[in-house]
Amino acid sequence: MRLGKLKKWIIVLSALMIVSASATAASDTINRFLFKGKLVINNKLASLNQDIYSIDGSVYVPIRALTESMKGYISYDASDQTIYVEQQLASNKKSVLNDKIEDDSFALHIFSSKAEYEYGEPIEVWARLSNHTEQTHDISHGVSLIEFTITDEEGFASVALNGEMYFSTFQAGDEFNSTLMQQEFLIYNLNKNGLLEKEEDLRAYLNKAVRPSVLPKGNYTITAKTKYWFDSEAVDQAKTLEVSIPVSVK
């Protein structure tokens, strides 16, 4: 499957994760009701202090209340009717689990802020590739310089596709950091259910699935992998660094 096709489905899911609703026929009548359900953000119940409405089968959340509940900032430019939402994505994290592997040029380190996560809690796993030499390295690699693999206790392994070829330059002491993203858990669930190649089944799954981008309860091995080569033509001489940590979802 091409990376472009996968990105298309990631975009489809992103929309469905925000609002999950059935399509309704166009009508001159608008049916509006107070939404009496709950809004949970990153496994915490959100209190917006504003009404949420269901309008013709779609749920509408006030954007200012939603943004502020996610510790973001919102502003409005009336001159061109543009809404600006700013949210700090990075956070300070301390690891309780870590491991490291290195070769003559690079060191690959993987971290997790916890060994055990509650179901639905944001999983904080990240990795760092660093040049531990005094030399400059020009390397070729795939789309993802650091690739993550999620392996469950049944031995099923899910990895995002990593095609094409890119180039990076590492000066002495340079580092590259990568975070295990929420979409990796979506890809795991889609792969586990054999849905990536079945468009109709995928749409049906996304319409009815509850928390499809959340990692199910169980024990997992999270692996960070870097594959690189110095000569852009010498793929067969690629070097690989791979390191893993165990995490559990309860």
Give residue 88's pLDDT.
65
Could you give the CA distance from residue 43 to residue 188 in angstroms, rounded to a whole number? 19
Exposure of 114 by Cβ count < 10 A (0-12 exposed, 13-18 middle, 19+ buried)?
A: middle
CA quadruple 178, 184, 218, 43: dihedral sign: positive
* Local mean pLDDT, 10-residue blocks, the chain (250 residues): 48 46 53 86 82 87 85 84 78 90 97 95 95 96 93 93 80 96 90 80 81 93 96 82 98
Give residue 12's pLDDT.
46
Contact between residue 126 and residue 180 where contact means Cβ atoms under 8 Å apart: yes
Question: Quick one: which of 50, 62, 59, 69 has its CA closest to 18?
Answer: 59
The phi-psi region of residue 194 (left if phi > 0; otherwise alpha if psi is between -120 and 50; otherwise beta) is left
Q: Which helix (H) or strand (E) holds 3?
A: helix 3-18
Give residue 163's pLDDT.
61
Which of helix, strand or coil describes residue 11? helix
Could you give the CA distance from residue 38 to residue 184 in angstroms, rounded to a whole number? 25
